[in-house]
Structure 1
């Protein structure tokens, strides 16, 4: 998958509506109107991310070196039997996975100097000490939330 900005559907729709006239001019289309908010997620689900990224980078003549393309995913798994009575969380083993090679490269962010890299992580890692480590290391991060994380999702 290519590296490209993540947009929420409402932000993408707002951007499309606000820039629709210039989009029509760029594509040399006429007599079209923006799709609805309900149609946007259906359309975006059909977009090939790698192809879109390639077109975007070629159009704007953006060239990234291999280091700039690197992203890592942090994923944690709860160790069975580690949740103490009265607690909801136990001991978690966190692995850093290289997006390109799909190989585990570290068990902690400060292993292998990952704090200065680009990291994607789930809400389990949305804790101040983890984000502070990335911020201090001048790294970048994207945190994904799911609807099953009700409290964070509502916030």
Structure 2
């Protein structure tokens, strides 16, 4: 059971990092929209985090697949497919010259991903708490049964 807790802790850290990356990208797009930052800086800041986001999301999907959590893996497949498709077409990076034209689309795309990552966050939090409670209950049960057996052994 401790391995289950470790698995969900790793998934939790992955999802939190995905949320952090996405919120940072949304802040860069909002700063660009309100003209607090120039298009080159905004695009370069966002582009620096796109490939790490894809890798973390892919690793999260692989962890779910290898650990046998099929529903969570299947939930991640459509976005992973979309990420792979973008990467293979070389459309994953933002173009500095077209960032103003694509600003609304990019914000909507990232808001949809934010909703998806928040769903993953709540699922992982639930599973993490469940694994922790099971581990605590299992530990208490083993302590109680060890105490019972030592009491029987002492009476003999």
Under TM normalisation by the shorter chain, which class is it? under 0.3
Answer 1 or 2: which has greater strand percent.
Answer: 1
Question: Quick check: which has more Rg, 1 or 2?
Answer: 2
Answer 1 or 2: which has greater helix percent.
Answer: 2
TM-score, normalization by structure 1: 0.22
